[in-house]
Chains A and B, each alone.
Chain A
Amino acid sequence: MAGALSFKNVGMTFPDGTRALGGATFDVNPGEFVTVVGPSGCGKSTLLRIASNLETATDGVCDVDRDSIGYVFQDATLLPWRTVAKNIELLAELHGVDKAEREGRVHSVIDLVGLVGFEDKYPKQLSGGMKMRASLARSLVMKPRVFLFDEPFGALDEITRERLNDELLRLFRLEGFAGLFITHSISEAVYLSTRVLVMSSRPGRIVDSFDVPFEYPRAHSLRYEPEFAELCGEVSTALRGALV
């Protein structure tokens, strides 16, 4: 197996005959952060759903160690009746990790995502950004080697979103997982990734790939560098081409 996650001609046809995904081939290697951008409804999310086994591809092969996947949904999907700490503990609980070990892990990830002091709050008391931090922390507890992100910051305001981009990059560097990230935002894609893939409209296929040359750690000011803007422009052009 080549990467931490590898797609070979993965396609998806829904039972009603709709071709959602037209055959995608790419790898995500350990230490890589790959972002997929594409028009709405092109099957980007389907890629993640196939990788995590929530759906089964109708053709092609998706190779990944399914026991070490972290999945961050579009909304935070916190359980409203659990406190922040209890929410973060959930997955370890489902996997039968024993209590002492669980509490230790929860404590350290709360520290990691900057939620110290919010352990006993309920989700309704949190802002959107803090909910997303809790959601990230919940997955981090299981120390996933592959992290799937389904437009996690799409509903956040720009300032919160940029701050969470930086947090995410810090975690990526620290934990060394392989990341596959879905987004609508070109600048978010370029800022985060080692590689940006462009998908065509339905049935989605990977039509272009851009290596992002910027070194980590990346600073906020990178967004205003001419090279950054230039690369965003290229991705944007490819995306426009993919729409026709």
Chain B
Amino acid sequence: MTDIKSELAVMPPSTHGPDDAPVETTNRVRASDIIGPTVVFVLFIGFWYALSTTILPEQKRFLLPTPHKVLKEGFFTWQVGEQRGLFPILRSMWSSIQVALIGLVITIVIGTMLATAMATRRWVERATWPYLVALQSAPILAMTPLIRALIDGVQTQRVLVVVLIAFFPIVNNTLFGLLSVEKSQHELFTLHGAGKWTRLMKLQFPAAMPNIFVGLRISAGLSVIGAVVGDFYFRQGGVVGIGAQIDIYRGRLWGSELVAAILLASVFGLVVFIAFGFLSKVAIGKWHTTTRGQ
């Protein structure tokens, strides 16, 4: 998983010898950077063909259409009826994107505020930490009846699911970052009479940025999962989210649209992941050695 690799990326870079020239990292693209993913892609498509033409029993092949059939019916057909074709998929995708983004923004705002309160006041940390950990492992989806009973509006319910699922990593990583400032740097601020607020803004938050971005990236990925999964459980007539759309295709055995929708949902997750990686590089790449998990 990316989590572990990204955790490694926040570890302090190894210091090099005292007066040798500082190491400049090069961004050369190696041939293996292109060959690797290409080989995996070809193998993936090959395996897919094998599954849908020979491995699956003949009467079950409708479950997984061949790649070219998916392309033709899922991507190159704009709209057939109310539900089939690329347009309905994109329409429901857009609905989910909105839910994921709204949920993510709320998560970031509340999560950062809570982490700050936890870092500055010990009793807040003591009071909330066990419940945050519990929240992380709680089966949110089993609570759907409760959520439905307490909150009106499908949109709000879906956003709430996103927040609940994406909440923990941003709090955890921000808190960890705020509390991991080196002792000597704290002492420097103490020596010069810095108050809590100055310390927070000029020392703890900047120092925590690498961790905060790790949390952001994980939470962003989870917000996509939260939105897609939340769609399954909270929907109304009219435009539904991509999760509900996938469920509809599954129910009607429309294999091509089903696969196309799943692929697009994955691409959304990938785009979010890459976007936050890029954002992190822009924000802290200049001073922080590794901002990518590699």
Contact = CB atoms under 8 A, between A and B. Distances in A.
Given A94-B192, A94-B194, A94-B198, A122 B287 contact: yes
B182 A77 contact: yes
Contacts of B207: 79, 81
Contacts of B3: none
B19 A128 contact: yes
A53 B193 CA distance: 11
Q: Which 10 A/B pairs are nearest by Cβ-Cβ distance? A: A128-B18, A94-B192, A122-B287, A81-B206, A127-B19, A77-B184, A157-B18, A81-B287, A125-B22, A160-B19
Interface in A194-244: none
A81 B182 CA distance: 14
B206 A127 contact: no
A39 B206 CA distance: 37
Nearest to A138: B188
B286 A122 contact: yes
A77 B287 contact: no
A127 B21 contact: yes
Contact of B203 (A73, A79, A124): A79
Chain B interface bracket (under 10, 10 to 19, 20 to 34, 35 or more): 20 to 34
Chain A interface bracket (under 10, 10 to 19, 20 to 34, 35 or more): 20 to 34
Given A80-B288, A81-B287, A95 B206 contact: no
A54 B191 contact: yes
A123 interface: yes
A95 B193 CA distance: 8
Interface in B211-236: none
Contacts, number: 71
Interface string A52-92: 11100000000000000101011101011110000000110
B134 to A, nearest CB: 34
A93 B13 CA distance: 28
B184 A156 contact: no
Contacts of B286: 122
B188 A128 contact: no
A81 B191 contact: no
A159 interface: yes
Given A124-B289, A155-B18, A91 B187 contact: no
B190 interface: yes
10 contacts: A54-B191, A94-B189, A94-B194, A94-B202, A124-B13, A126-B22, A128-B19, A157-B18, A157-B19, A159-B19
Given A81-B284, A81-B288, A127-B22, 14 more contacts: A54-B190, A73-B188, A75-B184, A79-B185, A79-B207, A81-B209, A90-B202, A94-B202, A124-B22, A124-B287, A128-B17, A129-B19, A157-B19, A159-B19
